[in-house]
Structure 1
């Protein structure tokens, strides 16, 4: 084989090994392509992809008329495929500029307006602006009316919904406080500075600013209403003072070991297994082994009507050790009581 043929074969092998993307990008480097030009003029990519070809044909026609020749050729990756397209040197930008003014779709193009980023004031009022009105006027009588209409279950639903809303409201106010720092806070104040008090923008800003104060007032008012209902301070709901029925006699004795007899009047045996204490007065997570006419079961429950959350904070090893000891003790008791349950 001649030296010329061997050299040609080497060149062909080398060419086969070249990445086409790298090759086409290198060949087209520095050239202006229709779609890239459009996006550089502020056209959004979707518009450029849809009308780039038609715009390119308009530019090519202008180039032929002005120069009496065909535009240079380049490579462009369109939707994942490499295609031969017309390319222009940086000195030929005037051709594309003229095409931009000539092609009807680009000449009439109006850039879509970007949605303004909502401010912390807008975010807060959208999320929590309805809460002050929701909690206004709630009293013990509100709960008594719910009780007359649907019993204690209706009151329980009302209370649970509003406790959840109070918790969400608090989170919204804390998010607002974290967002309103530095330049953001200054910009919000400049927005309302000098405007009359009845201006809607001033009202929205004031509502967001006093969010935590409104939340605390609503929480205290709601808690007072619950206490009023619990103790029926007005006496408008008559509750029959019927003594509890006597505890039934269980011939075989208590159904579970360690029963304290508290719920015998409901034909139920209960044996406390232990509890985990949390912050706040009488806030805990107890567990009991229970036996009634349906059988034996273990119950773990937490209930505190006036608490928005159940938490316990530990800041040193001693307090952490006390907490884990309670957890282990409760876990061991539940594990032992499980032996009384069906397999």
Structure 2
């Protein structure tokens, strides 16, 4: 129940235990909402009193209500969930008529270890594109969830029997510094380049299960060069850091797509580590394929960064500097 005046808006919550979880440890969730909206929130028994400007009160009310509904569904509420509600509260995406799994406007990816929920409108559109298209591109700066969400969708499709395997690949290109010769066998040499992909998989699959899937080659993580000559059928295939693929490598990879497969290409046009004068295959693919039906392109910006807030500020600073006339 909600009542209010010009200066105070009262929210009443029927379950006091859930209200405790909503407030968070030492009321840190309320503090976060207060900081973001500029309101003051006071707790009185099973009520929250919101003081502030009407527009700010309405925003806080919407976020608090959404978070409480989440708790009623048996889910947790953390800092990431608060961030997501603020990002998405500006627009109500409404029901999606194309994909039944997104009925009611909800976009969720179920994996073995966690439920993954996009935190921006662009992320929601990206996830829908991954489920709805056989070939999809995610292009934008670091920290926007391009690879993370793609791997989550791949795990979801694998555990639901929609694909038989997951294949994750990256160009083995050093990021601006020479590491010299690496010790060990081939796996030892390439694993440092593939570590971000292992990190994502570990978030979605239990350790023992992931190790077994890798041993059985149901999950493959390999450098881009290892894709030559293969036909990737009934697989969910991700090419990460695609800006570091050459034009010939990109063409080679795209033509590996086989029957029953889904392919995702992710990259950041501002982080090309190829030698000077070598064109990026991602830029060429974007130019050549953007007009082809059933190929989805999703573009992320600094507003979609879901890492530390400073990351978005850093990216925006570099983007502004790049726009200045030489």
Q: Which TM-score bucket, shorter chain as reference?
A: under 0.3
Larger Rg: 1
Point out the structure with the larger strand share.
2
**Higher RCO (CA 8 Å, separation ≥ 6 residues):** 2
- Using the size of structure 2 for normalisation, the TM-score is 0.17
- Using the size of structure 1 for normalisation, the TM-score is 0.16
Point out the structure with the larger helix share.
1
